Structure 1
Amino acid sequence: MRRGLLTAALATPAVAAQPWPRVAPDQAGFAPDLAERLDHGIRSGLLRGLHGVLLAREGRILLERYDDGPDEEWGRPLGQVAMGPETLHDLRSVTKSVVGLLYGIALARGQVPPPEAPLYAQFPEYPDLAADPARAGMRVEHALSMTMGLRWDESVPYLDARNSEIAMEQAPDRRRYVLEQPMVTPPGARWTYSGGATALLGRLITRGSGQTLPDYAREVLFGPLGITRFAWQGRDPGEESAASGLRLTLRDLARIGELVRQGGVAEGRQLVPAEWIAASTRPVIATGDGLQYGRHWFLGRDAPGAGPPQPWIGGFGNGGQRLWVMPAAGLTLAIFAGRYNAPDGWISPTRVWREIVLPNLRP
């Protein structure tokens, strides 16, 4: 097996989180009443269920707001929660994008197989599945881009046992559940949103590193970024959900966005190989709703201010959890919300991005 094709990341000891510098919106190229516009949207009812909004430009915070509301912890109701800078919040499927970063770090360290490696060969505990010639063409790359070609359906609510991620979590063997699903398209032919793909990547990371996902993330990513408080939920200790289990503060989610915006660099240190960030944010396949997908990141284009459309990188999660990064404009927008399993949960965070942030960026 060929490993470590990327340049190894620099040694990354844990550091104290650097304080976020702040600047008034009009000093960062925005309309001065940006906060008032957000407040008006919330009071009018157009923006519903928001728990936190943090907008940064070139690493400086120009808008940060928290609103109390009912919340959950990986599906467990928490009741009314007082939100603030120190409040941990579900990322839900934004967790997938963080796991994508961890895979790039692990690859640089020679701990996981490269994208071109055969996927089923990495799971020799299932020889019956690996022997199926129809699955022989599946590569790790197909898990990274969610193009494995396996039957998978997360379109039904996550409260429904027919949802494939829920069925996976309830299965006696989660990896077998994913890998034994019927082939419905050739690998690489179609994008299918799949928490199962992320579960396989998480297993490769834990097997190669000999650590749990929380311990590995703490060592190679969170500690070096100054992230000291987080939680990672899962069915059992050591079986944390790679697809949806991570909880961070809003500022720390924004730190992840800033890391991506700067090509894997934080405080002058290359935490994630630049080659991996570039490959992860390069379009691989269309998602079918006007967006593209890379390696565990959504990709799109929107127009900031009166300028031409610029590419953005996004992590999306159930309930309205969002992370948008627009490198050309220097923007990072992190949003927490509590509209879990609501079909319209995507609307409010998208309005913040497209109707408040981007139109009010001055050319």
Structure 2
Amino acid sequence: MSKGWFLIPFLLLTLGVHAEDWPGEQWPTGPRPSGPAIEALEQYAFPPRDEVSREGIRTDALLVIQNGRLVYERYAGPTTADTSHLTWSISKSLMATVFGVAYGEKLFGLQEPAAKYYPALSKHPDMTLADLFHWASGLDWQEDYEYAPLNSSVVAMLYTRGRRDMAAFTAQHESFSPPGQAFRYSSGDSNLLAAALKNIVGPARYPDYPWTALFEPLGIRHAVWETDASGTFVGSSYAYLTARDLARVGLLMQRDGRWGERQLIPKDWIAFNREPFARFQAGQDEAVPGGHWWLNRAADPTIRPWPDAPSDTFAALGHWGQVLYIIPSANLVIVRYGDDRDGRYRHNELLKRAMAAFAGAVQP
């Protein structure tokens, strides 16, 4: 018998070890864990739901992908597996992911002036696209919500005088600092990026670009992304996806921009998303800003917003408890949709319980 025949079992074993699971039309499933750790996770995520006062933690969906397989899924309220849920500011990270495809097409550079692609910013010639991705435009912006609506730039942009052309409204703001020097979270910065994308990819491609560039290659069939009256995507707030579809974006990011055999987004773009903004100061927000994603590490290694999660954890975060967590070291993607109104939900608490349930223990 040829020696080659003895190699076949070894090769098959090797292929099995290195095989990866990817979703087709449906997610492949794995064994659903059970036991006290899962019970502890569910007790936190799904307490009795008060539909009258709307107080407390109110999880609409919780979904976990491990090693490319759907291993946990639960819904509450009116949300189901088929619900395209409002993601709020997860939209910002989705916009950054769409930009990653354009970056792979070599259509722009991060250090180019933002005004090159959005001329309404011509009075801010030193502002770069990287500054916008770091929420460091330097524009004097107030990101206050229902607690201070009269002084809120974002409320005016989304609902009143800025709603017809949100990027133009943002561009009219004066500066409070030079671009790139200070972090100030701004939905306006995200909508300036959405407007710049129109000129980066061209007006003809723009209306379909999130679909042709990102959603369709990932097998996302039911995404909705609203535009303002000027035809610009509301990159800050108004993308809607099912939990299962958002998890596809999470798996793409967990695997460094690769989808199957295709490098859909360059690795150096993913590295930019996950690099802490050097001028961020601890206490400015609930997580560390990267390139339009949120990180569990800072340039200062003593800063770790979610101490019970691995340091490589990063996330897309949205208003009222929308979250996409990605934990590469544990091969985990977690989608959590919510309707939290009183601030009781804590990222670290859910991550701690999820790590205990799905990774066996909290990792450093």
TM-score of Structure 1 vs Structure 2, range by shorter chain: 0.7 to 0.9
Distance 1:140 1:334 in 2: 28
Distance 2:80 2:129 in 1: 39
Aligned partner of 1:74 in structure 2 is none
Give the conservation status (yes or no) of the 8 Å contact 1:156–1:162: no
- The answer to whether the aligner puts 1:251 opposite 2:264 as a matched pair is no
In structure 2, the CA distance between the partners of 1:336 and 1:237, relative to structure 1 (3 Å rule), is farther
Aligned partner of 1:325 in structure 2 is 326
Question: 1:58-105 CA deviation, whole Å, 9 max, x = no partner?
Answer: 11222110011xxxxxxxxxxxx2x21111100100000010011121
User: 1:351 pairs with 330, 349, 352, which one?
Assistant: 349
The DSSP-based 3-state class of the residue aligned with 1:322 is strand
Bigger shift: residues 283-292 or 253-262: 283-292
Aligned partner of 1:238 in structure 2 is 231
Q: CA deviation at 1:49?
A: 1.1
The DSSP-based 3-state class of the residue aligned with 2:336 is strand
Distance 2:204 2:64 in 1: 34
Q: CA deviation at 1:188?
A: 1.6
User: 2:287 pairs with 287, 291, 314, which one?
Assistant: 291
User: 1:205 pairs with 185, 197, 203, which one?
Assistant: 197
Distance 1:173 1:98 in 2: 20
Give the conservation status (yes or no) of the 8 Å contact 1:115–1:139: yes
Q: CA deviation at 1:20?
A: 1.6
Distance 1:96 1:280 in 2: 12
Aligned partner of 2:300 in structure 1 is none
Question: How many residues align structurally?
Answer: 318
Larger Rg: 2
Aligned partner of 1:263 in structure 2 is 256
Distance 1:214 1:160 in 2: 31
Question: 1:223-266 CA deviation, whole Å, 9 max, x = no partner?
Answer: 00000111112333723311111000001111111110000011
Distance 1:159 1:265 in 2: 42
Distance 1:261 1:36 in 2: 26
Aligned partner of 2:43 in structure 1 is 40
Q: Please list every run of 5 or more consecutive structure 1 residues that lacks an aligned counterpart in the other structure.
A: 1-14, 69-80
Aligned partner of 2:73 in structure 1 is 64
Aligned partner of 1:314 in structure 2 is 315
Give the conservation status (yes or no) of the 8 Å contact 1:48–1:348: no
Distance 2:220 2:132 in 1: 27
Give the conservation status (yes or no) of the 8 Å contact 2:118–2:199: no
In structure 2, the CA distance between the partners of 1:102 and 1:156, relative to structure 1 (3 Å rule), is same
The DSSP-based 3-state class of the residue aligned with 1:121 is helix
Structure with bigger strand share is 1
Give the conservation status (yes or no) of the 8 Å contact 2:29–2:70: yes
Bigger shift: residues 186-195 or 289-298: 289-298
Aligned partner of 1:153 in structure 2 is 142
Q: CA deviation at 1:303?
A: 5.6
Give the conservation status (yes or no) of the 8 Å contact 1:35–1:63: no
Aligned partner of 2:28 in structure 1 is 21
Q: Please list every run of 5 or more consecutive structure 2 residues that lacks an aligned counterpart in the other structure.
A: 1-21, 50-54, 297-303
Give the conservation status (yes or no) of the 8 Å contact 2:144–2:154: no
In structure 2, the CA distance between the partners of 1:214 and 1:314, relative to structure 1 (3 Å rule), is farther
Equivalence map 1:111-150=2 (5 Å) = 111=107, 113-124=108-119, 126=120, 130=122, 132=123, 135-150=124-139
Give the conservation status (yes or no) of the 8 Å contact 1:147–1:190: yes
* TM-score calculated relative to the size of structure 1: 0.79
Percent identity, please: 26
The DSSP-based 3-state class of the residue aligned with 1:191 is coil
In structure 2, the CA distance between the partners of 1:213 and 1:344, relative to structure 1 (3 Å rule), is farther
Aligned partner of 2:10 in structure 1 is none
Equivalence map 1:80-91=2 (5 Å) = 81=78, 83-91=79-87
